[in-house]
């Protein structure tokens, strides 16, 4: 076994149907007295649920969280926090809302509790993103770690099935890259394999029964595991390609992950036979199937858009995307080869099955 150091970074987690009821206790445990609730304009009902639970302690709601965490939005939310003399935020929503809480924690030292309602996994990481003048910068800082994470599966029951599928595959991508990250270790690989298994089975089940309580619970459990893997390992070609495509060509986050993942896994497959075996097992594969193809079929069964073209990318941008992806150097099991990466992007653009 290779040498490793495991300096686990794990926020406190409360999990289970009805776990949201424990939020007042968590706020008290942190000694906070004035809470600002964060959400998107689409999730004001969830924010209201939090305010009802917290009573007088919840002094205001900021309901303008948006994708990519613009610094102007952080400034507006901070102005509201100051006006109401807030000492804690509660972010209820997906990666965009939790990203706003991270922005406030990073720039203004405001601690937060996360209540995730998608499967993106941001709540388990110290990774932040901030967008200014159209450029998104990302980094990692212990200041942005959640003080507690409340996973209450019924809150994700109304997550539209399209986002359920793509967000779930976004989570699977974290787990896969953790399995071959140089910062990984055998415990991370265990969590990753179990995360993929739980999430893949949940996605298939939820497509048929989106309101099923047990499946929602299983999906959120998978998201927790996959997010934990992302928070404790590293990212390779897949995430870098997705950040390039999302950041430079303004393509939607979870949907891009869903299109690119089977092709990125196919690219790396020759360099990671052990990971491919684990992944194949976690995806319930049988003889004659391959892990990249199983991922492709999982997304297709879920009704996801399967090509970058369908997501709005132009064929004329593929060469530039290849150039940007090759500009940065980062650890990846297979060396970055221009011709093969250009071909990978072509396949993803056309939405053909991975080879
Ligand atoms: P999102 O947060 O943008 O949410 C998408 C939409 O779904 C929003 O309108 C939201 O209000 C709505 N929604 C969320 N939960 C819902 C529910 N249960 N019911 C109904 N509607 C619901 O999407 P996302 O995929 O969760 O997050 C994407 C963002 O998160 C990206 O910007 C990405 O970069 C970031 N991210 C960051 C990390 C990290 O570690 N920093 C990890 C993963 C993703």
Q: Does the pLDDT at position 319 exceed 90?
A: yes
Q: Is 232 in the pocket of ligand 1 (CB under 6 A)?
A: no
Q: What is the CATH number of the domain that holds 331?
A: 1.20.1090.10
At residue 222, the pLDDT reads 98
Q: What is the CATH number of the domain that holds 124?
A: 3.40.50.1970
β-bridge pairing 127-132 and 13-15: unpaired
Residue 67 Cα to ligand 1 middle (Å): 8
Q: Measuring from atom 5 of ligand 1, which residue has the nearest CA?
A: 94
Whether residues 77 and 208 fall in one domain = no
- Pocket test residue of 100, 120, 256, 258 for ligand 1, highest count of atoms within 8 A of CB: 120
At residue 247, the pLDDT reads 83
End of a domain among 140, 156, 172?
A: 156
At residue 348, the pLDDT reads 98
30: burial class by Cβ within 10 Å (0-12, 13-18, 19+)?
middle
Q: What is the mean pLDDT of the chain?
A: 97
Whether residues 192 and 319 fall in one domain = yes
Whether residues 150 and 228 fall in one domain = no
User: Can you count the helices (H) and strands (E) in the chain?
Assistant: 13, 8
Q: Which domain holds residue 206?
A: 161-350
Cα separations in angstroms, 205 against 87, 91, 135: 41, 28, 38
Cα separations in angstroms, 227 against 64, 111, 214, 301, 314: 24, 20, 20, 24, 31
Ligand 1 atom closest to the Cα of residue 119 is 26
286: burial class by Cβ within 10 Å (0-12, 13-18, 19+)?
exposed
Asked, for residue 39, whether it belongs to a domain, the answer is yes
At residue 1, the pLDDT reads 87
Whether residues 208 and 104 fall in one domain = no
Cα separations in angstroms, 86 against 60, 104, 156: 9, 12, 27
Q: If you average pLDDT over residues 283-292, what whole number do you get? A: 97
Asked, for residue 6, whether it belongs to a domain, the answer is no
End of a domain among 156, 175, 202?
A: 156
Q: How far is it, in rounded angstroms, from Cα 182 to Cα 157?
A: 36
Q: Global pTM?
A: 0.97
Give the pLDDT confidence of 253-270 residue by residue, as tens digits.
999 999 999 999 999 999
Q: How far is it, in rounded angstroms, from Cα 157 to Cα 160?
A: 8
Neighbouring residues of 69: CB distance < 8 A, sequence distance ≥ 6: 96, 99, 100, 102, 103, 128, 129, 130, 131
Residue 355 Cα to ligand 1 middle (Å): 30
Q: Measuring from atom 6 of ligand 1, which residue has the nearest CA?
A: 94
Q: Measuring from atom 32 of ligand 1, which residue has the nearest CA?
A: 68
Give the pLDDT confidence of 70-91 residue by residue, as tens digits.
999 999 999 999 999 999 999 9
Q: Measuring from atom 37 of ligand 1, which residue has the nearest CA?
A: 122
Q: Does the pLDDT at position 186 exceed 90?
A: yes
Number of domains in the chain: 2
- Pocket test residue of 69, 93, 106, 150 for ligand 1, highest count of atoms within 8 A of CB: 93
Q: How far is it, in rounded angstroms, from Cα 302 to Cα 262?
A: 14
At residue 9, the pLDDT reads 86
Closest CA to 67 of 241, 252, 235: 252
Whether residues 178 and 74 fall in one domain = no
Asked, for residue 110, whether it belongs to a domain, the answer is yes
Give the pLDDT confidence of 29-86 residue by residue, as tens digits.
999 999 999 999 999 999 999 999 999 999 999 999 999 999 999 999 999 999 999 9
Q: Does the pLDDT at position 134 exceed 80?
A: no
Q: How far is it, in rounded angstroms, from Cα 99 to Cα 227?
A: 14
Q: Is 254 in the pocket of ligand 1 (CB under 6 A)?
A: yes
Asked, for residue 27, whether it belongs to a domain, the answer is yes
Q: If you average pLDDT over residues 96-119, what whole number do you get? A: 98
């Amino acid at each position: 076994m290779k040498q490793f150091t495991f300096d686990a970074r794990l926020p406190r987690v409360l999990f289970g149907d009805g776990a949201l009821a424990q939020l007042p206790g968590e706020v008290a445990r942190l000694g906070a007295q004035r809470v600002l609730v964060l959400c998107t304009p689409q999730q004001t009902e969830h924010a209201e649920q939090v305010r009802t639970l917290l009573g007088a302690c919840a002094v205001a709601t900021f309901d303008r969280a948006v994708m990519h965490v613009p610094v102007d939005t952080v400034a507006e939310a901070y102005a509201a926090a100051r006006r109401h003399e807030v000492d804690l935020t509660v972010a209820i929503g997906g990666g965009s809302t939790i990203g706003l809480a991270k922005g406030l924690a990073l720039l203004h030292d405001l601690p937060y509790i996360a209540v995730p309602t998608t499967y993106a996994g941001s709540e388990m990481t110290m990774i932040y993103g901030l967008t200014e003048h159209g450029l998104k910068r990302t980094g990692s800082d212990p200041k942005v770690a959640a003080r507690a994470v409340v996973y209450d599966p019924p809150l994700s029951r109304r997550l539209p099935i399209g986002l359920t599928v793509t967000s779930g595959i976004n989570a699977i991508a974290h787990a896969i890259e953790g399995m071959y990250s140089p910062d990984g270790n055998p415990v991370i690989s265990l969590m990753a394999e179990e995360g993929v298994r739980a999430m893949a089975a949940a996605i298939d089940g939820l497509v048929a029964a989106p309101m099923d309580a047990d499946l929602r619970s299983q999906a959120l459990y998978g998201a927790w595991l996959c997010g934990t893997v992302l928070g404790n390992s590293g990212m390779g070609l897949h995430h870098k390609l997705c950040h390039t495509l999302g950041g430079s060509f303004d393509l939607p986050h979870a949907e891009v992950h869903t299109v690119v993942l089977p092709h990125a896994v196919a690219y790396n497959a020759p360099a990671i036979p052990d990971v491919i075996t684990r992944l194949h097992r976690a995806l319930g594969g049988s003889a004659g199937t391959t892990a990249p193809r199983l991922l492709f079929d999982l997304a297709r069964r879920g009704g996801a858009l399967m090509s970058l073209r369908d997501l709005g990318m132009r064929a004329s941008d593929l060469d530039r995307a290849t150039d940007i992806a090759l500009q940065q150097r980062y650890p990846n099991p297979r060396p970055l080869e221009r011709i093969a990466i250009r071909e990978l992007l072509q396949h993803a653009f056309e939405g053909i099955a991975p080879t």
